[in-house]
Amino acid sequence: MSFSNRKIIHVDMDAFYASVEQHDNPALRGQPVAVGGGHRGVVSAASYEARKYGVRSAMPSKTAKEKCPHLIFVPPRFARYKEISKKIREIFYEYTDLVEPLSLDEAYLDVTENKKEIESANQIAKEIRQKIFEQTGLTASAGISINKFLAKVASDINKPNGQKTIHPDKVEKFLEDLPVEKFYGVGKVTANKMYSLAIYKGIDLKKRTVEDLTRLFGKSGKYYYDVVRGIHNSEVKPHRIQKSVAVERTFFEDLFDQQQIDEKLQSLSEELHSRLQKNNIMGRSLTLKIKYKDFSLFTRSFTKEEYYSSVEEYFNTGKKLWELRPYDKAVRLLGLSVSQLNTEEKKQVSVQLKIPFEEFQDGIN
Q: Which residues contact 336 (CB under 8 A, 6 or more apart)?
A: 246, 247, 248, 265, 268, 269, 272, 286, 287, 288, 289, 314, 318
Catalytic residue from among 106, 181, 323, 344: 106
DSSP string, 168-191: GGGHHHHHHHSBGGGSTT--HHHH
Cα 154 to Cα 312: distance, rounded to the nearest angstrom = 47
Pairing of strands 8-13, 140-145: antiparallel
Active-site residue flag, 83? no
Report d(CA 145, CA 152) in Å as an integer. Answer: 9
Provide the CA 246 distance to its chain's centre, in angstroms.
13
Residue 130 φ then ψ, to 5°: -65, -45
Q: How far apart are CA 229 and CA 222, in angstroms?
A: 11
Whole-number Å distance between alpha carbons of 190 and 259: 41
Q: What's the CA gap between 156 and 169, in Å, rounded?
A: 20
Instruction: Report the length, in residues, of the chain.
Output: 365
Torsion (CA) 77, 80, 82, 87 in degrees, nearest 10 = -160
Distance (Å, whole) CA 95 – CA 3: 20
Which residue numbers are catalytic? Answer: 106
